[in-house]
């Protein structure tokens, strides 16, 4: 088991109770997709897993080790083993694609060398390789904000690959992309999952993508898990339970 989340609660300072006792276990190599309405707590869950935010109570175990309360150097070590991709790509806009990819390696570079931006040949080659993996090595020298959304997201994926992650978290990675681009970006997640054996946990909105890529699905509603199972088991009834009576499925290919 690569990840174990036990009875996790998150209460924001504003008083919002975003997670209400969530428990999940993830086996190595899974492609786990989390679905749920806007505001159901999907992003909060991912951020609690790699401790971008502090869970209020409960436990997170990564590779058999309790990481809920670790701090400082130890926490950074764990973070460097967990990759993360965001809906808004979150690249450094004014810097080159290559520099952006290299930032994925910061956890294992010395502070001084990273500030004067002196990177080893190996690191640079690794970055170029990872750009190759997501198919945009020819853009290495360009400024990150000159790329299209889909290309930026691939740069973000390459950045997370620099961490050689055991676990890759993706928070609605295709929510701001058009359907065709969505599919191609999702394709790279599948490739990383299959080729490198990286475990992927991904928040998604479109059921057609879920059915195509997920090996297992969890549905959140108001901070609680209301469904857990295989993607093709989500039928009309489940769909309405998860997304509400009003919802209707839209097809995207």
Partner 1 sequence: MIAEPEVEIHPQKIIDRNKRKEDKFNFIKAILLDIFLVFYSLIVLQRAIYFKFILDLRELPFSWNEIGIIYLISVVTGILWTSTKTSLSCKLFGIAKDNKITKWTVEIFSWFLFNITFIAGWIVTKFSIVDIFSSEGIQGAQRIFGALFQPEMGIFDDALFAIIETIYIALLATLISIPPTLLLSFFTARNLMRDNKIAFTVYYVLRIILNFIRSIEPLIWAIIFSVWVGIGPYAGMIALLVHTIASNAKLYSEAIENIEEGPIEAISATGANKIQIVWYAVVPQILLPFLSFTIYRWDINVRMATIIGLVGGGGIGTMLMQYQGLARWHEVGLIVLMIAFVVWVMDYISARIREAIY
HSE-up (13 A, CA, CB side) for residue 169: 22
Residue range at the interface with partner 1 (CB under 8 A); choices 82-90, 119-127, 181-189, 235-243: 82-90
Does 111 participate in binding partner 1 (rule CB under 8 A)?
A: yes
Residue range at the interface with ligand ATP (CB under 6 A); choices 34-42, 78-86, 231-239, 244-252: 34-42
Q: Which run of H or E residues covers position 17?
A: strand 17-26
Give, as one character, the DSSP assignment of residue 143: B
Residue from 153, 157, 110, 152 nearest 129 by CA: 157
User: Is 160 in contact with 168 (CB distance < 8 Å)?
Assistant: yes
Options 40, 163, 182, 183; binder of partner 1; rule CB under 8 A:
163
Whose Cβ is closer to ligand ATP: residue 18's or residue 131's? 18
Backbone angles phi, psi at 168, to 5 degrees: -120, 120
Does 44 participate in binding Mg ion (rule CB under 5 A)?
A: no
Q: Which residues pair with 84 in a beta bridge?
A: 169
Task: For tokens 């990383």, name the residue.
Answer: 192
Going through 172-209 in order, the beta strands assigned E by DSSP cover: 199-203
Does 44 participate in binding ligand ATP (rule CB under 6 A)?
A: yes
* C-alpha pair distances (Å), 18 with each of 35, 111, 243: 15, 35, 17
Residue range at the interface with ligand ATP (CB under 6 A); choices 38-46, 92-100, 102-110, 211-219: 38-46
Does 222 participate in binding partner 1 (rule CB under 8 A)?
A: no
* Smallest separation (angstroms) from Mg ion to the CB of 31: 19
Task: For tokens 């191609």, name the residue.
Answer: 184
Options 5, 22, 31, 40; binder of ligand ATP; rule CB under 6 A:
40
Does 41 participate in binding ligand ATP (rule CB under 6 A)?
A: yes
41 touches which of partner 1, ligand ATP, Mg ion, none (CB within 5 to 8 A by kind)? ligand ATP
Does 16 participate in binding ligand ATP (rule CB under 6 A)?
A: yes
Options 5, 26, 98, 156; binder of partner 1; rule CB under 8 A:
156
Q: Interior CA angle at 114 toward 105 and 126, to 5°? A: 35
Q: Which residues pair with 20 in a beta bridge?
A: 9
In angstroms, the CA 207 to CA 131 distance is 29
Whose Cβ is closer to partner 1: residue 86's or residue 243's? 86
Does 139 participate in binding ligand ATP (rule CB under 6 A)?
A: no
Q: Which residues of this chain interact with partner 1, rule CB under 8 A?
A: 7, 9, 11, 13, 15, 17, 20, 50, 52, 56-57, 66, 69, 76-84, 86, 88-95, 103-109, 111, 114-115, 156, 159-160, 162-163
């Amino acid at each position: 088991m690569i990840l174990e989340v036990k009875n996790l609660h998150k209460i924001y300072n504003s008083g919002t109770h975003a997670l209400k006792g969530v428990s999940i276990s993830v086996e190595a190599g899974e492609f786990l997709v989390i679905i749920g309405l806007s505001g159901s707590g999907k992003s909060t869950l991912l951020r609690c897993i790699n401790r971008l935010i502090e869970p209020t109570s409960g436990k997170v175990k990564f590779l058999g080790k309790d990481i809920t309360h670790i701090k400082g150097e130890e926490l950074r070590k764990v973070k460097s083993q967990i990759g993360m991709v965001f809906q808004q790509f979150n690249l450094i806009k004014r810097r080159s694609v290559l520099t952006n990819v290299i930032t994925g390696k910061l956890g294992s570079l010395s502070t001084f060398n990273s500030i004067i931006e002196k990177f080893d040949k190996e690191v640079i080659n690794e970055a170029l390789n990872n750009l190759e993996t997501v198919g945009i090595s020819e853009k290495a020298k360009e400024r990150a904000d000159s790329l299209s959304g889909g290309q930026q997201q691939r740069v973000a994926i390459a950045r997370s690959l620099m961490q050689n992650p055991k676990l890759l978290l993706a928070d609605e990675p295709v929510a701001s992309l058009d359907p065709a681009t969505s599919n191609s970006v999702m394709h790279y997640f599948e490739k990383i999952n299959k080729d490198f054996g990286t475990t992927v946990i991904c928040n998604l909105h479109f059921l057609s993508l879920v059915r195509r890529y997920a090996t297992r699905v969890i549905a959140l509603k108001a901070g609680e898990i209301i469904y857990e199972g295989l993607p093709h088991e989500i039928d009309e009834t489940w769909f309405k339970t998860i997304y509400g009576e009003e919802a209707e499925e839209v097809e995207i290919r």
